[in-house]
């Protein structure tokens, strides 16, 4: 089995915990509690406004990403969880 640090990223997310946390370990711990063994998580970087960029890794599959995002939202631990993607001006 591939470790989280070497596993390919399936999706990048922006998450903002309801309770501000200062370290990556707290963000990852909260995510692991919500996701269990269904996805690996890897911390990328902090953002402004107490948000964080994280990656979902194997064993998650790309087709599971929407359901995993909904599980994080439903956990009640996050103010928001969104895919980290480029926005296009229309």
pLDDT for 14 beyond 50? yes
pLDDT for 69 beyond 90? yes
The pTM assigned to this predicted structure is 0.84
- How crowded is residue 61: how many other Cβ atoms within 10 Å of its Cβ? 12
Residue 2, pLDDT score: 40
16-61 confidence digits (pLDDT tens): 999 988 789 999 999 999 998 888 899 999 999 999 999 999 888 8
| Residue 23 backbone class (left: φ over 0; alpha: ψ -120 to 50; beta: rest) | beta
Residue 4, pLDDT score: 55
């Amino acid at each position: 089995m591939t470790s989280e640090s070497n596993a390919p990223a399936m999706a990048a997310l922006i998450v903002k915990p309801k309770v501000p946390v200062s370290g990556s370990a707290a963000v990852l711990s909260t995510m692991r509690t919500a996701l269990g063994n269904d996805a690996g998580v890897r911390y990328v970087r902090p953002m402004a406004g107490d948000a964080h960029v994280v990656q979902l890794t194997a064993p998650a599959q790309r087709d599971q990403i929407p359901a995993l995002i909904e599980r994080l939202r439903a956990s009640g631990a996050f103010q928001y969880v969104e895919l980290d993607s480029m926005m296009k001006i229309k």
